[in-house]
Amino acid sequence: MKKINFYKNRKLYFAISIIIILSGLAAALINGVRLDIQFQGGTILQYTYTGTVDSEKAGSIASQVLGKTASGQLQTNLAKSEKTLVINLANRASITSQQQQQVTAELQKAFPDSKLSLYQSLTVQPSIGAQFFQKGLLAIGLSFLLILLYVAVRFRRIGGFSAGAMAIVALLHDAFVVTSVFFIFRIPLNDSFIAAILTIIGFSINDTIVIYDRIRENKGVMNKKTSPEDLVDISITQSMTRSINTNIAVFLSITIAYIFAQFYNIQSIKDFALPMMFGTISGCYSTICIAGPLWTMWQKRRGAPGTAKA
């Protein structure tokens, strides 16, 4: 199999990644960073209904009644065959029972044929939401640290810590791509955000470990004078098909889940599946085009065997 010059084209790959990162930052500046109720605190009003309800109109009515930002979402409970209108009030101040009654009355007036009925009201205190957000970020940070330690120990023969550090850079790239999807599509950061980040980290590091394994194997059988760039290019070329096929399978599965959620209007699954679709592509890309070339640059800088001296 003819090798592909991944290291030679590294500047192109890095430029693509920089453009993606800048696009995410631009989306964050333009659209703003939205925190959902789980992280910011607020109130959720859930109504059962029949017939048809306009979620945008419902959110606008709640905003006018309360004088606070509100959004409406429609959900379907397949098990109970129930349709639900969810009014999200992501605001640090909770609402009173009288205000709930006012919102309910106005919604029933706006949709008289839908038999709207308030069946659940949930309030998340701002302090609890902030703690949940901090613990979620802590879980992501700990996952990076444990991955770094694991890779450093397992791949001592190919640099250990340097291999782990470059893998972390690739994972940070993937995490930012997933975060950018939330910014671009204006999805509030919620528990799906933490779940998507941790899932993508798991998928991506698995791909990177496969390539590191091949680099370690090839380093033991190839000529000691083989340059780091040739070693990495050959190893990635040999492992690339497996990585792409695995990620295609994951991407198709997530896409089916997203289509299902879109058809039945299941917001929680949509909020998880859409970022995962982009994250899967990013994980495959970063494993092949980012982690390997970065590791090669590190090895050349420290003067690994086969590296030409300046």
- The DSSP code sequence of 52-109 is ---HHHHHHHHHHHHTS--EEEEEEETTTTEEEEEEEE--SS---HHHHHHHHHHHHH
Position 239 in a domain: yes
Q: Residue 305 pLDDT > 80, yes or no?
A: no
Token pair listed for 308: 């030409």
Domain's final residue, options 61, 89, 124: 124
- DSSP structural state of residue 289: I
Position 307 in a domain: no
> How far apart (Å, rounded) are the C-alpha atoms in residues 21 and 112?
47
- DSSP structural state of residue 290: I
Q: Residue 92 pLDDT > 70, yes or no?
A: no
Instruction: Tell me, yes or no, whether 145 and 196 share the same domain.
Output: yes
Position 157 in a domain: yes
Domain's final residue, options 67, 101, 124: 124
Residue pair 233/201 in contact (Cβ under 8 Å)? The answer is: no
Task: Write the burial class of residue 223 (CB in 10 Å: 0-12 exposed, 13-18 middle, 19+ buried).
Answer: exposed
Instruction: Tell me, yes or no, whether 132 and 120 share the same domain.
Output: no
| Beta pairing, strands 82-89 & 42-49 | antiparallel
pLDDT of residue 107: 95
Residue of 72, 75, 67 whose CA lies nearest to 54 = 72
- In three-state secondary structure terms, 117 is strand
Amino acid symbol at 184: I
pLDDT of residue 214: 93
The 8 Å CB, 24+ separation contacts for 54-61 are 54/111, 55/85, 57/110, 58/85, 58/87, 58/107, 58/110, 58/111, 59/87, 59/88, 61/103, 61/106, 61/107, 61/110
Give me the number of domains the chain comprises.
Answer: 2
pLDDT of residue 106: 95
CATH number for the domain harbouring residue 277: 1.20.1640.10
- In three-state secondary structure terms, 198 is helix
pTM, rounded to two decimals: 0.84
Instruction: Tell me, yes or no, whether 135 and 179 share the same domain.
Output: yes
Q: Residue 2 pLDDT > 60, yes or no?
A: yes
Instruction: Tell me, yes or no, whether 63 and 145 share the same domain.
Output: no
Instruction: Tell me, yes or no, whether 138 and 162 share the same domain.
Output: yes
Q: pLDDT tens for residues 271-303? A: 999 999 999 999 999 999 999 999 999 988 876
Range of the domain at 142: 10-36+128-301
Token pair listed for 53: 């309800």
Residue 259's pLDDT band (cuts 50, 70, 90):
very high
Instruction: Tell me, yes or no, whether 282 and 227 share the same domain.
Output: yes
Q: pLDDT tens for residues 195-232? A: 999 999 999 999 999 999 999 999 888 877 788 899 99
Q: pLDDT tens for residues 93-136? A: 678 889 999 999 999 999 999 999 998 888 888 788 889 899 99
Position 310 in a domain: no
**Once rounded to an integer, what is the mean pLDDT over residues 78-84?**
73
Residue 28's pLDDT band (cuts 50, 70, 90):
very high
Instruction: Tell me, yes or no, whether 119 and 133 share the same domain.
Output: no
List, edge to edge, every strand of the sheet that includes 82-89. Answer: 71-77, 82-89, 42-49, 117-124
Instruction: Tell me, yes or no, whether 29 and 176 share the same domain.
Output: yes
Q: Residue 184 pLDDT > 70, yes or no?
A: yes
Position 218 in a domain: yes
Residue pair 55/74 in contact (Cβ under 8 Å)? The answer is: yes
Domain's final residue, options 101, 124, 147: 124
Position 135 in a domain: yes
Please indicate whether residue 305 or residue 12 has the higher confidence score (pLDDT).
12
